[in-house]
Amino acid sequence: MTERTLVKVAMADLNVSREGVLKTVGLGSCVGVTLYDAKNKIGGMAHIMLPSSSLSRDGAINLAKYADTAIPELIRRMRELGASPHLEAKLAGGAQMFAFSTSEALRIGPRNIESCKEQLKRHSIPLIAEDTGGNYGRTIELCCRTGILYVRSVHRKVKEI
C-alpha cells in the first residue's frame, strides 16, 4: 500500500490501518474519533452517530454507531494490529445542526462530543486536538504515516490538527 491508499469509514463504521489515509465524510452532529499510535504508525477512525448504546432500539447493536461501544472496539482492533498502549486521540464534528432548538433530544452533536471525551478519559487516552461544535459539516482524513488529521469544511480553510 502507498500513501495514496484510501481506507473509507462510512457513517456508523470504524476502521484501522497501518498505511494510507483513513477518511470519513458527512460529519454533522456525528463525531469522527481518531486514535493514533505514533511509535507503530497505526491509525484508527470511528464515525460515531450517537452518544450511548442505551439508545439502541434493536437487539443487535452496531458497535461503531455509539461512543460507548465504538471507542473500546477501535482500541481493541488497533491493539490487534499491533498498536502500543500509548494512543493519542483527535476529535472532529459534533455540530449543533438544529441551532434554534433547546431540546435535549436535538443536542446530539454536543452530547456526542461529551460522550466521546468521557470514553477517552475512561481509557486513559489523551485528547490532543479537536475541531468540534459549530453548525457546519466536516470531512476528515487521518494520515497514518504522520498522524496529521485534515479537517475540511465548505467555505473554510483545510485545518491540520
**The pTM is what?**
0.93
Helix, strand, or coil here: 3? coil
Helix, strand, or coil here: 104? helix
**In the annotation, is 30 catalytic?**
yes
Helix, strand, or coil here: 117? helix
Q: Is residue 107 part of a domain?
A: yes
Q: Is residue 122 part of a domain?
A: yes
Q: Is residue 1 part of a domain?
A: no
Distances in Å between the Cα of 32 and the Cα atoms of 36, 45, 57, 58, 151 are 13, 7, 23, 23, 10
Q: Is residue 55 part of a domain?
A: yes
C-alpha cell at 40: 507503530
Domains of the chain: total: 1
Burial of 106 (0-12, 13-18, 19+ CB in 10 A): middle
Handedness of CA 130, 63, 44, 14 (dihedral sign): negative
Per-residue pLDDT of the chain (161 residues; tens, 9 = 90+): 345 799 999 999 999 999 999 999 999 999 999 999 999 999 999 999 999 998 777 778 999 999 999 999 999 999 999 999 999 999 999 999 766 556 666 689 999 999 999 999 999 999 999 999 999 999 999 999 999 999 999 889 999 99
Q: Which domain holds residue 42?
A: 6-160
Catalytic residue from among 30, 116, 143, 144: 30
Burial 45-67 (b: 16+ CB within 10 A, else e): bbbbbbbeeeeeeeeeebbbbbb
Q: Is residue 14 part of a domain?
A: yes
CATH number at residue 121: 3.30.1330.200
